[in-house]
């Protein structure tokens, strides 16, 4: 028996497969112009990875932005439930989850038994998301990897006052024109993301352990600022982008075992 979870995000498709021995396989690919085609292609590739070319999964659960369009899945589940399941599978003691995705960000609050207590979500604006960082990186002519490191060097962080991606990009261009150091501009951008996400998260009490997931969790500058603002360390899964897909695969496993 093998099961699959597919997190069809706005920027990336994440797929996790558990085979009958419990071994996990995963793939992350760009969503592109057609999320269904991307999801199907990623599924076919992960089946090859697992040596299951001629076999179809016993159960598939889809989640994420495009979950309802994955017509070959057996069930769709909200990303909140899937992220909670995936994170608790890796970090059983987790109490708060901040997920910063490609086009939205969310905060999930769990009780001590891992049950969902509440969640907050920003899905109306790209500011404070991975897309925000992509736009700024393009404006600065640097990679996201370089952006991750630059702010750690900053000694004179600039202030980015706009909460809008378009206006923030204009601010960045102005700072570049004035000769501000790259690391100070990047630090200002990272700070704006952190203040936006923590402003949302702190509407309720953030109880550690706090786990940060999503592509932006790979940005060391953002993570360091979150820790500095909160005054305690946060936990980053080894593969922070796949927790939603992992949770979906775990739900698929329960479904398959019950059939």
Q: What is the pLDDT along the chain (259 residues), one digit of tens a residue?
A: 899 999 998 889 999 999 988 899 999 998 877 888 999 999 999 999 999 988 999 999 999 988 999 999 999 999 999 999 999 999 999 999 999 988 789 999 999 999 999 999 986 666 677 888 888 888 899 988 888 889 899 999 999 887 777 788 899 999 999 999 999 999 999 998 999 899 999 999 999 999 999 989 999 999 999 999 999 999 999 999 999 999 999 999 999 987 5
Claim to verify: residue 124 and residue 195 sit in the same structural domain? yes
Q: Is the residue at 205 inside a domain?
A: yes
Claim to verify: residue 13 and residue 126 sit in the same structural domain? no
Claim to verify: residue 98 and residue 42 sit in the same structural domain? no
Residues composing the chain: 259
Question: Which letter does DSSP use for residue 237 in this model?
Answer: -
Claim to verify: residue 122 and residue 40 sit in the same structural domain? no
| Separation CA 19–CA 52 (nearest Å) | 9
Claim to verify: residue 190 and residue 217 sit in the same structural domain? yes
Q: Is the residue at 86 inside a domain?
A: no
Place of tokens 């495009």: 66
Claim to verify: residue 38 and residue 63 sit in the same structural domain? yes
Q: What is the pLDDT of residue 165?
A: 77
Query: Which among 79, 70, 46, 60 is positioned nearest to 255, based on CA atoms?
Result: 60
Claim to verify: residue 21 and residue 99 sit in the same structural domain? no
| Separation CA 75–CA 41 (nearest Å) | 19
End-to-end CA distance of the chain: 12
Claim to verify: residue 194 and residue 99 sit in the same structural domain? yes
Q: Is the residue at 88 inside a domain?
A: no
Claim to verify: residue 25 and residue 105 sit in the same structural domain? no
CATH of the domain at 254: 3.30.420.40
Claim to verify: residue 43 and residue 113 sit in the same structural domain? no
Q: What is the pLDDT of residue 119?
A: 96
Place of tokens 């500095």: 228
Q: Residues near 242 by Cβ (< 8 Å), separated by ≥ 6?
A: 7, 14, 16, 26, 28, 86
Q: What is the pLDDT of residue 126?
A: 65
Range of the domain at 72: 3-81+242-258
Place of tokens 């982008």: 241
Claim to verify: residue 133 and residue 229 sit in the same structural domain? yes
Q: Is the residue at 71 inside a domain?
A: yes
Q: Is the residue at 87 inside a domain?
A: no
Q: What is the pLDDT of residue 124?
A: 61
Pairing relationship of beta strands 105-110 and 24-30 according to DSSP bridges: unpaired
Claim to verify: residue 118 and residue 77 sit in the same structural domain? no
Q: Domain count for the chain, please give it.
A: 2
Q: Is the residue at 192 inside a domain?
A: yes
pTM of the complete model: 0.92
């Amino acid at each position: 028996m093998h099961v699959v979870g597919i997190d069809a995000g706005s920027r990336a498709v994440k797929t996790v497969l558990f085979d009958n021995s419990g071994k996990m396989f995963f793939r992350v690919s760009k969503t592109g112009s057609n999320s269904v085609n991307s999801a199907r292609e990623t599924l076919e590739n992960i089946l090859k990875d697992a040596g299951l070319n001629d076999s179809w999964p016993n159960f598939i659960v889809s989640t994420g932005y495009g979950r309802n369009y994955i017509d070959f899945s057996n069930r769709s589940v909200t990303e909140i439930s899937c992220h909670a399941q995936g994170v608790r599978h890796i970090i059983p003691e987790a109490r708060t989850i901040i997920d910063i995705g490609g086009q939205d960000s969310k905060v999930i609050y769990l009780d001590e038994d891992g049950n969902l207590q509440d969640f907050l979500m920003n899905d109306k604006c790209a500011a404070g998301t991975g897309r925000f960082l992509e736009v700024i990186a393009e404006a600065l002519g640097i990679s996201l990897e370089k952006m991750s490191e630059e702010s750690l060097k900053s000694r004179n962080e600039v202030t980015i006052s706009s909460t809008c991606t378009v206006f923030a990009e204009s601010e960045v261009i102005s700072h570049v024109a004035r000769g501000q150091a790259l690391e100070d501009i990047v630090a200002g951008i990272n700070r704006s993301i952190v203040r936006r996400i923590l402003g949302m998260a702190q509407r309720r009490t953030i109880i550690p352990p706090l786990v940060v997931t999503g592509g932006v969790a790979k940005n060391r500058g953002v993570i360091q600022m979150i820790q500095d603002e909160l005054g305690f360390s946060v936990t980053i899964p080894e593969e922070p982008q796949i927790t939603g897909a992992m949770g979906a695969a775990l739900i698929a496993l329960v479904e398959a075992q019950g059939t």
